[in-house]
Chains A and B, each alone.
Chain A
Amino acid sequence: MIEFLQRKKVWVFDGAMGTMLQKHGWQIGECPEEYNLTKPEIIFEIHRSYANAGSDIIQSNTFGANMLRLKIFGLESKTCEINKRGIEIARKAAKTDVIVAASLGPLGELIEPLGETTREQAFDSFREQAKGLTEADFINIETMQSLDEAEIALNAVRSIINLPISISMTFQKNPRGYFTMMGESIKNVVDRVSNWDIQILGSNCGEGFVQMVEIMTEIKSLTNLPLLAKSNAGLPVWENGREIYSEDSNFIQDKVERLYQLGVKIVGGCCGTTPDHIHAIKKIANRINLSE
């Protein structure tokens, strides 16, 4: 078990970065991670709003800051710097006792033989990103759909960093159960990662908190790894010219309670969640942490 995880029974992660950035004026076509260099005050403010709402862990604005993705914005030469600054901003915004997780998301490209990207390019892209993440408390490899890609990311991070690592997969429901886009079942995922050097297994994004409870129920029945759940606030719907996420801080309460009861160690939010959601999760976590 990771040292820091032993300090509390249950933990509260933070909520969305992307949908919060929109509220702070992020425009289509801008690289969200470039804000670490150009508008660090906005990133700081979002982190701080989560810390104030009760997040025990906040996550850096580095989700898409791998070399291949930054290349699309002509920023590949700044890969390390963007990630490094991302961790620094999160650290500055973190209060005492708040843990800093480094977010590392998918490449956004298919790896050979399915796509053009070679395994070496994928590895190098993640490795370059990892160079900037060394000062985090743990690395969260998240929103993964492909176990091959997750493994490459893990190896790339491990080639540089000796910190706890979580791998967090994204599942959708189909007529036969929960699968990633690449067709990995929950059982497949658990079977394969059980041989990997990871310390936390998680699921994030997805269709909403109800589905997240189902996903975690299945994962919990298959593994003893500490678990992390960061759910979307439902799927967005379009109303009066803007997107609305239907699951508010009231809706999620009993689902969050259920997640903690199942034994999920860390609960937070993904797309569409706000400090309100985190505040609601914190209340439940506080109750559990104070009870004996």
Chain B
Amino acid sequence: MKEILNHISEIIIKGKWKEMTDQVNLALENNITAKQILDDGLLKGMEVVGVKFRDGEMFLPEVLMSAKAFKTAMALIEPYFLHGEKISSGKVLMGTVKGDIHDIGKNLVGVMLKGNGFDVADLGIDASTEKFIEWIERENPDIVGLSAMLTTTMVSMQKTVNVLIEKYPNKKIIIGGAPVSPSFADSIKANGYAKNAIDAVELCKKLMYAVA
């Protein structure tokens, strides 16, 4: 059993998503539960991916392939979870702010959050404050993440964050993106800043702990 789960982790780390279906089916045939596959195979693999990414041993293309492997496996095991067995780490709504059309970094954060058991809702790019509000009302996330790639759109970020912290004092508002810094996050009173996808996961875990 351990061997099969290790192999699943390995497929995640190497991003060999085409091999995932066979291995997950093998696991299910051997009566390994969906929860075990998730915890001891998929999430374990994604954790290694996170560390390798942070240390500059893996890059965006490899991480995206790992994400694809993760997604392939999740689609297969989803029906096998028992009721209440799959415990979410929390729900994160994310989007790129008004005027900004960049989403590669944001998507990477989404991938790593999903790979760490978070539910993620993505409202896309060029999102107005109104759009953020509309999605918050619909999705009821614990955490709202705003992304900006351009220095010019940091102003939009500031405007949206101002409105959101006023309107939703119980939600955690976090920011990230190439031009964004901890001092900027402080100055606009965001609840947190992460400089990369790995830090974003850590930040969200910390914030969820604070919420709970």
| Chain A residues proximal to chain B, CB less than 8 Å | 18-19, 22, 26, 28-29, 69, 72, 108, 110, 114, 174-177, 179, 181-183, 235-238, 243, 271
Contacts and interface: CB of A to CB of B under 8 A. Distances in A.
Given A238-B183, A238-B184, A29 B55 contact: no
Given A174-B56, A176-B56, A238 B152 contact: no
A181 B104 CA distance: 10
Given A114-B65, A182-B60, 18 more contacts: A18-B152, A28-B98, A28-B99, A28-B100, A29-B99, A29-B126, A72-B101, A108-B101, A110-B64, A175-B55, A176-B55, A179-B56, A181-B59, A183-B61, A183-B62, A237-B181, A237-B184, A238-B154
A52 to B, nearest CB: 25
Interface residues of B, number: 29
Contacts of B61: 114, 182-183
Contacts, number: 61
A69 B100 CA distance: 12
B156 A28 contact: yes
A110 B62 contact: no
Given A29-B98, A182-B61, A236 B151 contact: yes
B170 interface: no
12 contacts: A18-B150, A28-B98, A28-B100, A28-B155, A29-B98, A72-B101, A108-B102, A176-B56, A176-B57, A237-B184, A238-B183, A238-B184
A243 B154 contact: yes
Given A22-B152, A28-B155, A29-B98, A237 B56 contact: no
A19 B151 contact: yes
Most buried by B among A19, A183, A235: A183
A232 to B, nearest CB: 10
A72 B101 CA distance: 8
Nearest to B98: A28
Interface string B22-57: 000000000000000000000000000000000111
Contacts of B184: 237-238
A40 B62 CA distance: 42
Contact of A183 (B59, B101, B104, B187): B59
Contact of A271 (B57, B104, B151): B151
Given A28-B155, A108-B102, A114-B64, A182 B59 contact: yes
A28 B152 contact: yes
A72 B150 CA distance: 16
B208 to A, nearest CB: 27
B127 to A, nearest CB: 12
Contact of A175 (B56, B64, B99, B153): B56
Contacts of B99: 28-29
Nearest to A64: B101
Interface string B134-161: 0000000000000000111111100000
A236 B56 contact: no
Contacts of B62: 183
